[in-house]
Copies of this chain bind each other. A is one copy, B any other.
Amino acid sequence: MAKDGERRDPLNRARVLRAAVALADESGLEAISMRKLAQALGVVPMALYKHVANKDELLDGMVDAVVSEVEPPQEGLDWKAAVRRRTLSARAVMLRHPWARRIMEAQAAPTHVILAYTDSMIRTFLAGGLSADLVHHVMHALGSRIFGFTQELHETAPTAPSDLSPEQVQYMMATFPGIVAVATARPHDPTSVVGSGCDDQFEFEFGIDLMLDGVERLHRNDWRSADHDREAASVL
Residues of A at the B interface (CB closer than 8 Å) are 81, 84, 102, 104-110, 114-116, 118-123, 126, 131-133, 135-137, 139-145, 147, 150-156, 158, 175-179, 181-188, 198, 202-203, 205-207, 209-211, 213-215, 218, 224-226, 228-229, 231-232, 235
In the bound complex, do residue B206 and residue A140 qualify as a contact, i.e. CB atoms below 8 Å apart?
yes
Q: Is the CB of B143 within 8 A of A152?
A: yes
Q: Chain A interface mostly helix, strand, loop or mixed?
A: helix
The answer on a CB contact under 8 Å between A203 and B137 is yes
**Chain B residue contacts of A131, Cβ below 8 A:** 185
Query: Once the chains bind, are B132 and A235 in contact (CB under 8 Å)?
Result: no
Which of these, B175, B176, B183, B211, contacts A210 with CB under 8 Å?
B211
Contacts of A188 in B (CB 8 A): 133, 225-226, 228-229
A119 to chain B, nearest CB (A): 4
Are B105 and A158 in contact, CB atoms less than 8 angstroms apart?
no
Asked if A119 meets B178 with Cβ closer than 8 Å, knowing A186-B133, A209-B228, A231-B209, the reply is yes
Shortest Cβ-Cβ A-B pairs, 6 listed: A143-B151, A188-B225, A122-B178, A132-B185, A141-B207, A140-B203
Q: How many whole Å from A65's CB to the nearest CB in chain B?
A: 17
Q: How far is the CB of A179 from chain B (nearest CB, A)?
A: 5
Contact A181:B133 (CB < 8 A) given known A110-B158, A210-B215: no
A203: chain B residues at CB < 8 Å are: 137, 140-141
Given contacts A110-B153, A209-B232, A179 and B141 within 8 Å (CB-CB): no
Question: In the complex, A203 Cα to B211 Cα: how many Å?
Answer: 14
14 A-B residue pairs with Cβ-Cβ distance under 8 Å, sorted by A, are A102-B105, A106-B106, A109-B156, A126-B182, A132-B184, A133-B185, A133-B188, A137-B206, A143-B152, A147-B153, A186-B225, A187-B224, A202-B228, A211-B211
